[in-house]
């Protein structure tokens, strides 16, 4: 019997990682994988907030947690540094993968965005900031060992695509994985060549129109410039997993280590299980987790209620949602008002959006809606347009429109589409028709 058990054990050790990936991972295996691929986080030297456990001071009101954290010294804040993890298998296009998901939870997000050509800044301050990092692994066919296939890092919610790096396109990643962190807002981007700066086409293989990278100054233009971030040199704050190689000083080829403070790893599933088991009343939950203001609910993308301990399961649903973020933000049902007639007219319809990856090819948007005037007959208006992103919220569009009930049903159009949370403001000029018209619609 012992000999049979030994044979079975020997066979199991020879099973490739790709095969094992299709089976549930034990907690010990998850921790081992999460530790092996844990990132080095590089912060701005003036950063005030660092990742902590989602349950930091969880018995306190959300405002008290923020105030308590602010009273801590820099060393006190760094001593609390912690990152959540969970590890799960998935199958993508017939290939088995292991996904390592890291939760970087901050007690506060302090940031402002400069909106394109407008001379104003929009504040994006809120408690309970949560940023997710996905490290997708595949098995080396020769050795069976895991290697990084893809890195997907959260930038900003809404329509901003995540920062991505595909090792099959850009080349293998030299361990450890180093992630730059945006000042105040904590967006993350890979630093593949370990030079302390985000560089398009070096640290990213994404091909979309809007590449966020790291923007310490909050400039939201679609094209990326090196001046958008400040260099992460020897004064930067570095966090490495406790007990890892990076903490000991081995931080990859071409990078000079200037000291790395350790962070702890904690299992996300344990915190979810504990928090959900509290069975908080609605009032208790609002006090502890917080509640999004009505202004942010109408115009913003962040829901504070979902940022402390999210309920989503350990699968790739949030990863897929992140990868399809811009398509989801730009498309959907809509209801609002339009000035296509003499007086403002109610409109209801649907918007479609196709995010085409090539930078030289415009994305495609299509709007089909019914115009419902207070007096008169219902009419149909439809537009198909190519669109380019000027910044994170503003697109320029050009195409063809159809407007029933008018002397000239079809007309070339040019205009803008400005997204304000769930609202879209679309001023459009009909080149041969009735001049300008504007639509303001709420999208859901």
Mean of pLDDT values over 133-145:
90
Shared-domain flag, residues 289 and 340: no
Residues 6+ apart with CB under 8 A from 84: 53, 54, 102, 103, 104, 105, 265, 266, 267, 268, 271
State the Cα angle at 236 between 232 and 237, rounded to 5°: 140
Shared domain check, 217 and 158: yes
Strand 121-123 relative to strand 112-114: parallel, antiparallel, unpaired? Answer: antiparallel
End of a domain among 322, 348, 364? 322
Instruction: Please report, for the domain that includes residue 415, its CATH number.
Output: 2.40.160
Residue 365 in domain: yes
Q: Residue 110 belongs to what domain range? A: 15-322
For residue 10, tell me if it sits in a domain: no
Radius of gyration from C-alpha coordinates of the chain: 25
Compute the distance between CA of residue 243 and CA of residue 263 in angstroms, rounded to an integer. Answer: 9
| Cβ atoms of 416 and 394 closer than 8 Å | yes
Q: Do 289 and 389 belong together in one domain?
A: no
In a domain, 84, yes or no: yes
Over pLDDT 90: what percentage of the chain?
47
Q: Which of 400, 396, 398, 403 is nearest to 434 (CA)?
A: 403
Residue 2 lies inside a defined structural domain of this protein: no
Smallest CA-to-CA distance from 97 within 14, 35, 166 is with 166
Q: Answer whether 398's CB lies under 8 Å from 166's CB.
A: no
| Least confident among 129-133, 220-224, 289-293, 295-299 | 295-299
Asked if residues 176 and 40 have their Cβ atoms less than 8 Å apart, the reply is yes
Are 299 and 69 contacting, i.e. CB atoms less than 8 angstroms apart?
A: no
**pLDDT, mean of residues 238-261:** 63
In terms of domains, do 244 and 318 share one?
yes
Looking at 302, 322, 342, the residue that finishes a domain is 322
- Has residue 49 got a pLDDT over 80? yes
* Number of folded domains that form the chain: 2
Lowest mean pLDDT among 20-24, 103-107, 382-386: 20-24
Are residues 201 and 285 both part of a single domain? yes
**Are residues 309 and 345 both part of a single domain?**
no
Asked whether residue 79 falls in the same domain as residue 206, the answer is yes
Please name every residue paired with 365 in a beta bridge, in sequence order, or none if there are none: 353, 385
- Higher per-residue confidence, 325 vs 234: 234
Q: Report which of residues 282 and 53 the model is more confident about.
A: 53
% of the chain with per-residue pLDDT over 70: 86
Establish if 118 belongs to a structural domain.
yes
Residue 206 placed within a domain:
yes
Which of 290, 322, 354 delimits the end of a domain? 322
Contact 56, 65 (CB under 8 A): yes
The pLDDT value given to residue 438:
87
Q: What is the pLDDT of residues 267-276, one digit of tens each?
A: 999 988 888 8
Q: Is 9 a domain residue?
A: no
In a domain, 217, yes or no: yes
Backbone angles phi, psi at 187, to 5 degrees: -60, 150
Question: Do residues 372 and 426 both lie within one domain?
Answer: yes
Let me know whether 377 and 291 are in one domain.
Answer: no
Does residue 217 share a domain with residue 112? yes
**Do 156 and 227 lie in a common domain?**
yes
Q: Are residues 164 and 255 in the same domain?
A: yes
- What digits encode the pLDDT tens for the residues 255-289? 444 589 999 999 999 988 888 888 888 888 888 88
């Amino acid at each position: 019997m012992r000999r049979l058990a030994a044979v079975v054990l020997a066979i199991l050790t020879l099973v490739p990682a790709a095969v094992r990936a299709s089976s549930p991972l034990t907690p010990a295996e998850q921790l081992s994988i999460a530790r092996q691929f844990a990132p080095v986080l590089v912060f701005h030297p003036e950063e005030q907030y660092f990742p902590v456990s989602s349950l930091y001071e969880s018995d306190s009101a959300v405002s008290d947690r923020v105030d308590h954290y602010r009273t801590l010294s820099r060393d006190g804040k760094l001593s609390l540094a912690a990152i959540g993890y969970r590890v799960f298998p998935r199958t993508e296009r017939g290939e088995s993968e292991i996904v390592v998901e890291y939760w970087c939870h901050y007690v506060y997000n302090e940031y402002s965005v400069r909106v394109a050509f407008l001379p104003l800044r929009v504040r994006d301050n809120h408690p309970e900031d949560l940023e997710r990092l996905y490290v997708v692994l595949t098995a080396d066919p020769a050795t069976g060992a895991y290697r990084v296939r893809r890195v997907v890092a959260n930038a900003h919610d809404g329509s901003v695509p995540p920062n991505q790096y595909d090792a099959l396109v850009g080349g293998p990643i030299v361990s450890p994985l180093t992630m730059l962190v945006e000042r105040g807002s904590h967006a993350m981007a890979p630093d593949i060549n370990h030079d302390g700066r985000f560089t398009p086409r070096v640290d990213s293989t994404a091909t979309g129109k809007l590449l966020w990278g790291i923007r310490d100054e909050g400039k939201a233009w679609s094209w990326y410039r090196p001046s958008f971030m400040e260099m992460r040199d020897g004064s930067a704050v570095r966090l490495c997993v406790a007990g890892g190689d990076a903490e000991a000083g081995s931080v990859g080829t071409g990078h000079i280590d200037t000291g790395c403070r350790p962070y702890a790893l904690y299992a996300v599933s344990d915190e979810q299980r504990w928090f959900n088991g509290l069975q908080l009343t609605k009032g208790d939950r609002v006090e502890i987790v917080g509640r999004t203001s009505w202004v942010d609910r109408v115009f913003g993308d962040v829901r504070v209620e979902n940022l402390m301990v999210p309920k989503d399961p350990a699968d790739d649903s949030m990863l897929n949602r992140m990868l399809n973020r811009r398509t989801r933000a730009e498309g959907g049902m809509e209801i609002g008002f339009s000035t296509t007639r003499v007086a403002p007219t109610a409109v209801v319809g649907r918007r479609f959006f196709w995010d085409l990856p090539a930078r030289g090819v415009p994305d495609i948007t299509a709007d089909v809606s019914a115009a419902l005037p207070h007096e008169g007959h219902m009419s149909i208006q439809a537009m198909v347009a190519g669109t380019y992103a000027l910044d994170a919220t503003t697109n320029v569009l050009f195409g063809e429109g159809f407007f029933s009930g008018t002397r000239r049903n079809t007309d070339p159009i040019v205009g803008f589409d400005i997204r304000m949370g769930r609202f879209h403001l679309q001023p459009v000029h009909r080149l041969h028709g009735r001049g300008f018209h504007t639509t303001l619609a709420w999208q859901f």
